Amino acid sequence: MKILVTGAAGLIGSHLVDLLLNENHQVVGVDDMSYGNLNNLKQALTNPNFKLKTVKAQFLPLWKESFDIIYHLASMKKPTDSVIKSSLVLKENTDMVNIIASEAIKNNSYLVYTSTSDVYGNSVNFKEDEPIIMGPPTNERYSYALSKLYGEQYILNEMTQSNLNGCVVRIFGCAS
């Protein structure tokens, strides 16, 4: 299979790339290297079935290509300092999911969208059916959570309203 992995040089993305290559898939990795690290792809970069594109996923010049599966792991992270504006986190992440979902629909690719437990907001129980309670909009950290929640809702809507095939995966507590 021909597979695209966005966020390929990140912790989870690089392990996924290695796993897919070990299963003899053709893998195109995309990472703008804002959070990724080439050392994570040391093994993959020696594999002839792997190509790395260092570009933002939403500006990917290879949308001329189609993929059997798209793993969308890339995202702009939570603002932790004044360098990253929280409004940019919202814009970048929603732009990415909109474009990637459109490409998956157009090319009949299966889309795996990775989200985060941050979408639970201020939850105590982390249950799927409980109401989501976010804190005040003055807390810029919620920009990341809301962008991921938007992505989940957008993907689920497209799965019922168009011909998008895919799933949403929420990742809990991952650290390198």
For residue range 83-126, what is the model confidence (pLDDT) as tens digits? 667 788 889 999 999 999 999 999 999 999 997 666 556 566 66
Q: What is the CATH number of the domain that holds 19?
A: 3.40.50.720
Crossing angle of the two packed helices 142-161 and 86-107, in degrees rounded to 10: 20
Q: Is 144 a catalytic residue?
A: yes
Residues with Cβ within 8 Å of 71's Cβ and at least 6 positions away in sequence, in order, are 3, 4, 5, 6, 13, 16, 112, 114
Q: What's the pTM value of the predicted model, to 2 decimals?
A: 0.89
84 within domain boundaries: yes
Range of the domain at 156: 2-171
Q: Quick check: is 45 in a domain? A: yes
176 occurs within a structural domain:
no
pLDDT digits (tens, 9 = 90+) for 120-135: 565 666 667 777 777 7
Instruction: Tell me the per-residue pLDDT of 33-42, one tens digit each, with 9 for 90 and over.
Output: 988 899 999 9
Q: Domain count of the chain? A: 1
Residue 52 CA to its chain's centroid (Å): 16
Q: Looking at 120, 144, 150, 154, which residue is catalytic?
A: 144
